[in-house]
Amino acid sequence: MNKEYDYVIIGAGIAGCSLAYFLKKYSKSILLIDRNSNVAFGASGAAGAFLSPLLGKPNDFKDLIAKSLIFSTNFYKNLSEDLISNCGVCRIPKNGEDRDKFESYKPYMDFKYTQMDDGYFFEIGSQVTPSLICEKLTKDIEKKLSYNVEKLEQNQDSTWIINDELCAKNIILTTGADIKHIKEEYFDIRGVWGQKIDVSTTTQTHINYHKECSVSKASKIEGSDLYKVSIGATHHKFNCDKNICNYCIETANINDCSKCYNNSIVNSDSVKLIALANDIIKLENVEVIDVKIGARASSNDYFPMIGKLVDSKKSIEKFPHLLNGTHIKNSMLETVNNLYVINGVGGRGFVLSPYLANELVEHIINDKQIEDNLSNHRLFKRWAKKQKNKDIGKK
């Protein structure tokens, strides 16, 4: 058996890399695992990594995005000014109905904005490069890459054993849409596929734009008269039964997957993205130079999930009246020992992940309470109410 770590983080996207960064303030015994050959593959690698406000009337989710956007923007700037392009974003209504909504949102804007052409310009809008950010975050972190976790078990003293060769006092799962290591039925994740393309163009864009897709500020391609522009959007919800076929989500390099996301879909989506971008700003002499695809993990209520996992069987055995909707304090529910998660960040992973990672680390190390609408407990309680006439013990 190899050496034991205090913390093993499984998943090296932006959530896992942010966790490693904040944890290293408290521990030198951290291992970051990913089945890919480098950090920031999968959904994080396929992200446009745009940081933009959420518009709307006041609600808890909008408040979460606003405070996460402030936190993450400052975090990236402090990490390295060179790694964030704080050029602002112009948000453009899709149609007349959307414009009416924008007008109704004006009294509730969380950030400064000015009218710009057909849209609204927000100075706080930014973009980061996923690979560079994740490499910077994990520069001093021990990694085990191109390593697939096939077996994850816990022994009697609550130590975790990975593939019968690695030991960990604590496991943190940041695996996004691939939740094969989470055995709880209430922990339900929807994989929504997104595609990002980088194109070369003779058009120089000076800010980010968002309408039906996002278009980045241009960067000069060295040694040419061309510019690189990123275009990204969320596209498909495939109706795969993950209990039968999890191939696309489990494929190490999703760009090589031909089961659901085949070349025909990739090519047609690229054409669609260019058309949507041209509806925002005309890009001349466009050529696709890179395509990345990933499954963005979303919860059913759109809020992310962080913290310990509730052990559903043990909790219901202890409090059978949960099935009748009886309120039980979160602290009284049974949880899986030394297992934590960050998941459900959806299409806003680079906005949410640094904030959530810091919250989880402060919870683990300093016992800071996790907000109810971020805790996994909320999902368990809703699920438990629906189980009244089912035999939980046989699950």
271-306 pLDDT, tens digit each: 999 999 999 999 999 999 999 888 889 998 999 999
Query: Which residues 6+ apart lie within 8 Å of 31 measured at CB?
Result: 5, 7, 8, 9, 142, 143, 144, 166, 168
pLDDT of residue 390: 66
User: For residue 388, what pLDDT band results from cuts at 50, 70 and 90?
Assistant: confident
pLDDT of residue 395: 44
Average pLDDT of the segment spanning 129-138: 97
Alpha-carbon span 177 to 295, nearest angstrom: 6
pLDDT of residue 63: 97
Identify the CA nearest to 63 among candidates 352, 320, 342.
352
- pLDDT value at 247 more than 50: no
pLDDT of residue 368: 97
Average pLDDT of the segment spanning 215-242: 81
- pLDDT value at 389 more than 70: no
Q: How far apart are the first and last CA of the chain?
A: 32
Percent of the chain with pLDDT over 70: 90
- pLDDT value at 239 more than 50: no
Cβ burial, residue 357 (10 Å; 0-12/13-18/19+): buried
Domains with residue ranges and CATH for the chain: 1-49+133-189+299-395 (3.50.50.60), 193-295 (no CATH)
- pLDDT value at 260 more than 60: no
- pLDDT value at 253 more than 80: no
Alpha-carbon span 36 to 25, nearest angstrom: 26
Alpha-carbon span 161 to 208, nearest angstrom: 45
- Of residues 46 and 26, more confidence is placed in 26
- pLDDT value at 236 more than 80: no
Average pLDDT of the segment spanning 17-30: 97
Q: Measure CA 328 to chain center.
A: 30
Helix or strand holding residue 276 (H, E): helix 263-278
Q: How do residues 134-145 score in pLDDT, each as one tens digit?
A: 999 999 999 999
- pLDDT value at 393 more than 70: no
Where do the DSSP E strands lie in 129-264?
142-144, 152-154, 160-162, 166-173, 190-201, 208-210, 214-215, 219-220, 227-236
Q: How do residues 312-356 score in pLDDT, each as one tens digit?
A: 999 999 999 999 888 899 999 999 999 999 999 999 999 999 999
SS3 for 295?
Answer: strand
User: For residue 254, what pLDDT band results from cuts at 50, 70 and 90?
Assistant: very low
Q: What is the value of pTM for the model shown?
A: 0.91
- pLDDT value at 251 more than 70: no
Average pLDDT of the segment spanning 192-218: 94
User: For residue 394, what pLDDT band results from cuts at 50, 70 and 90?
Assistant: very low
- pLDDT value at 132 more than 60: yes
